[in-house]
Amino acid sequence: MMKPHIYFNSNIDSPEEWKAALSQHFPNMQYSVGEICDDPDSVDVALVWKLPNRGLADFKNLKAVLSLGAGINQLDPARLPRHVPLARLVDDSLTQTMVEYAKAATFRYHRKFHLFERQTREARWTFVPATIARDTSVGVLGLGELGGAIAKALATEGFNVSGWSRSQKDIEGIATYCGQSGLAEMLAVSDIVINVLPLTDDTRSILNEEFFVQCKRGACLINMGRGHHLVDADLLAAIDAGQIQAATLDVATVEPLPPAHPFWMHPAILVTPHVAGISTPESASVAVAQNIRRALNGEPLAQQVNVSRGY
């Protein structure tokens, strides 16, 4: 029976819940949490949302770094030991919650709840006609595990869905694009744009003035990727200019979003506190346990990150 030594570090995930979930798979595991690890040489696997302040260099026999997130940018990949493979999280509970969030935010704009919320505060009974889903075009940035699932789910709801990725994709029922000209083509027709890209050198600040200029006038933005995809001031200017109608922002450059940030009080912006995708330890520990077994057996990890590509 495997007896891995698992090191856990996260400021947003419960170490106790993860311990309970992992001990179902490894009843005799050793489990260390937090900044100080008493027996660093015996650590086999680091399961982390963020790196501890000291990094992972003390763990001389580390066999794998497993991210508690689908994204890995928060791990500061430049500080990771280069010879140790890194895997990201892919999990049904995470995918399902991301899909639910995307659907909720899309339907809110499609059925104009964002306008009715404002009218309610103003005690204003103004009829705004409904349109049907096929008349609303949704463009999804990123067609990986999450973006692909979101695009398919929205297409199943009847929306006119397109998607953009680095390599050309072929997904039934979705118009797919890649490259800068593909992006421009997609943005020109999208009523709602959903960002679910990973944060890399190529995608940092992608949601900027130049991007908003290419959007259909009055488009709504849903940012479920990372805060650093968005240039905050450019969004505010695009909303002021009427180019972007409204935005739903689940992620921020600084989290928690500071109290004085202009997004909080903006009538066209809805902020949610990085809750779009939530993985439960019970569900996510299945894939994590498989990767721990692979690491201990010296096998390649599933969902291994290409660190030079950034995702």
The least distance separating ligand OXD from the CB of residue 36, rounded to whole angstroms, comes to 26
The least distance separating ligand NDP from the CB of residue 297, rounded to whole angstroms, comes to 25
DSSP characters over 15-66: HHHHHHHHHHH-TT-EEEESS--S-GGG--EEEESS--TTTTTT-TT--EEE
Cα–chain-centroid distance for residue 96?
A: 12
Partner whose binding site includes residue 4, from ligand OXD, ligand NDP, none (CB under 5 to 8 Å by kind): none
Find out whether 32 and 5 touch, Cβ atoms under 8 Å.
Answer: yes
Kindly name the residue from 114, 226, 229, 294 that is annotated as catalytic: 226
Q: Which residues of this protein are in contact with ligand OXD, per CB under 6 A?
A: 69-71, 89, 277
The least distance separating ligand OXD from the CB of residue 159, rounded to whole angstroms, comes to 24
Residues 198, 196: Cα–Cα separation, whole Å: 7
194 phi, psi to nearest 5 deg: -110, 125
| Interface residue with ligand NDP, options 136, 203, 248, 291 (CB under 6 A) | 203
Where does this chain touch ligand NDP (CB under 6 A) — which range of 8-16, 123-131, 220-228, 289-297? 220-228
For residue 304, count CB atoms less than 10 angstroms from its CB and return exposed for 0-12, middle for 13-18, buried for 19 or more: middle
Residue closest to ligand NDP when measured from CB atoms: 144
Find out whether 250 and 224 touch, Cβ atoms under 8 Å.
Answer: yes
Of residues 90 and 268, the one with the C-beta less far from ligand OXD = 90
Kindly name the residue from 274, 293, 294, 309 that is annotated as catalytic: 274
Would residue 226 show up in a list of annotated catalytic residues for this protein? yes
Residue with tokens 């029922």: 173
Four-residue CA torsion sign, 207, 210, 214, 219: positive
276 belongs to the binding site for ligand NDP (CB under 6 A): yes
The least distance separating ligand NDP from the CB of residue 201, rounded to whole angstroms, comes to 9
Would residue 118 show up in a list of annotated catalytic residues for this protein? no
Of residues 197 and 220, the one with the C-beta less far from ligand OXD = 197
Find out whether 208 and 231 touch, Cβ atoms under 8 Å.
Answer: yes
Site for ligand NDP in 64-93 (CB under 6 A): 70-71
245 belongs to the binding site for ligand NDP (CB under 6 A): no
147 belongs to the binding site for ligand NDP (CB under 6 A): yes
The least distance separating ligand NDP from the CB of residue 157, rounded to whole angstroms, comes to 19
Outline where the chain has alpha helix (H): 15-25, 92-110, 113-121, 145-156, 179-189, 209-214, 232-240, 281-296
| Beta pairing, strands 86-87 & 244-249 | unpaired
| Beta pairing, strands 137-141 & 192-195 | parallel
Of residues 6 and 174, the one with the C-beta less far from ligand NDP = 174
Number of residues that bind ligand NDP (CB under 6 A): 30
Q: Which residues are catalytic?
A: 226, 274
By the criterion CB under 6 A, which residues form the site for ligand NDP?
A: 70-71, 94, 98, 142-147, 164-167, 196-200, 202-203, 224-226, 250-251, 274, 276-277, 311
